[in-house]
Amino acid sequence: MDVYRMWLDFCPNDSFGEKIHVVDFVAKEYLEKASVDVRHLVPADIPGDGNCLYHSVLLLMNNSVMTSSELRVHTIVELVTNEAFYSHRFAYAVGPLDIAIKGVCKKNTYSELYEVAALCTVISCNIRSLYPEIDFRVDMAIMNSVFTPIPPIIAKYEIKVLWSNARSEVDIRATNNSQWSPNHFVPLMSSNTRYQDISSSQIELTTKVNIMEQNETERDAQHQMQLVTLRDRARLRLDSETEVQRQDRLRKDRERVQTRRANVTQDLRRERLEQMKERAQIAQMNESEKEHQIRINHQRERSQSNRINKKLEKRSIDNTMLHQQDLHDHTYGNSSYIRPVRSSMNAIGRNDSVTNKNKIRESSTWPAPVSIELKEECLKQFLQRTSMANLAEVTCAIYLLKVSDELKNLITNIQLSVPKHSNGRSAIQNSLTFYLENDIILYKNGVSRDNDITMCSICQNCSDALSKEKIPKFSAANNMRLGDIP
């Protein structure tokens, strides 16, 4: 363990040699998105076997004896020895150190911030971490920082390492749900003459860009001053204009807006709506937690207000329909009117329904109170239809009748055995519940005689069935027995 606690003698050789090193062109694309002051450097090609961070240090160390596994062991010992220091500095960004150490102990495991920081102490050298400006991260600042050894070690050199990926950004986003993440480290080396020319051109381009940005800032300031001046002039003009001039100006503004809207084609309108949608999405993405909560509360209030308005509108429509129905009943109601013809009633109902719907669409005003005359008419009809004469129970002669064959034969024999005009026959018939006529047994309470004519009381259900030449639903022929009175 003491052997691995010894600090390595590190003297970096970061000069790129075309005969020795190979340019990593994929990493060079990511380097264009890193800090401007390092874009002139050259990323060297490193094997992407999970030990790329250690390969990067070994390439700059130019030591053929040291291996990546040995360098990994040195890093593990450093993390275990100063566990409290590294956990306090990087646990919030990377996670618990004990879990990270378990991963570092596995060969060919991709390195993270813990390994970068520990390597500084192992090789006694500053390491500048460079992270491309892709997919903003909360810990972007610490990813683009310089890591130094633990005191009392004083670093004499500094190397630069770029967070990269073995594949291009387009390929990664196509297979990773449009997300980009690094999985590779490459060392950045100083260029030779050929690359120095490229670096000089990049520096000149950067200088030109800075000059252009400065000029643009100055133009924006001048434009802002002009806007303030024009706004002040417009305010003075508005304060001095009369009411007639104001109305004329507003009319002209409305005409210009209408003309502009009339000239807008469908494609331009769709494009304008898409731009508004994109601006709204960007504003939602950039809003803070407080602004997000305020927007959600306003949206909830609008939804609640819309629901209340819909309920009030529905209630108004229902009240209007009830009022129209009352007027219809008052118009077509009649105390002597018992049962209308079904087809005519359906036609009238359909016509009235269409009329009511049209009236409701045309007018959604609050219904007027019910008149006194209509109330009195409704009360009169209610009293008439609930009188004792209308509610008196009458026995149906055939309704709910169930007579067995034995009882039918018994009644027949009793009536045949008694003389037709004898007093005994009348007494026997009065004691029976049923009445026999033409081999038909009927309820005695539903049969009456008037001038030697036998008359039967038949309910509406039985009458409708007999008129249609059907057997009544609750007659004896259907084997029903529910009681004497319907």
Question: Any bridge partners for residue 434, and if so which?
Answer: 443
- How far is 225 from 356, CA to CA, in rounded Å? 64
| Segments of the chain with pLDDT less than 50 | 1-4, 193-199, 334-345, 347-348, 421-428, 481-486
- Give the three-state DSSP class for 15: strand
Residues 74/14, Cβ–Cβ less than 8 Å: no
Domain 2-191 has CATH 2.60.40.420: no
pLDDT at 339: 42
Question: C-alpha 138: how far from its chain's center?
Answer: 27
pLDDT at 429: 52
- How far is 472 from 475, CA to CA, in rounded Å? 5
Token pair of 456 as six digits: 């039967």
- How far is 438 from 456, CA to CA, in rounded Å? 13
Q: What are phi and psi of 394, to 5 degrees?
A: -125, 135
Token pair of 153 as six digits: 């070690």
- Write out pLDDT tens, residues 240-255: 667 777 788 888 888 8
Question: Any bridge partners for residue 23, and if so which?
Answer: 44
Residues 388/463, Cβ–Cβ less than 8 Å: no
Question: Any bridge partners for residue 440, and if so which?
Answer: 437
Residues 48/216, Cβ–Cβ less than 8 Å: no
Give the start-to-end residue ranges of the domains of the chain: 2-191, 207-283, 310-390, 405-478
- Write out pLDDT tens, residues 108-152: 888 888 999 999 998 889 999 999 988 777 778 888 999 999 988
Residues 443/394, Cβ–Cβ less than 8 Å: no
pLDDT at 407: 66
pTM above 0.85, yes or no: no
Spell out the residues 6+ positions from residue 29 whose beta carbon is closer than 8 angstroms to its own.
Answer: 168, 169
Residues 155/120, Cβ–Cβ less than 8 Å: yes
Q: What are phi and psi of 258, to 5 degrees?
A: -65, -40
pLDDT at 3: 46
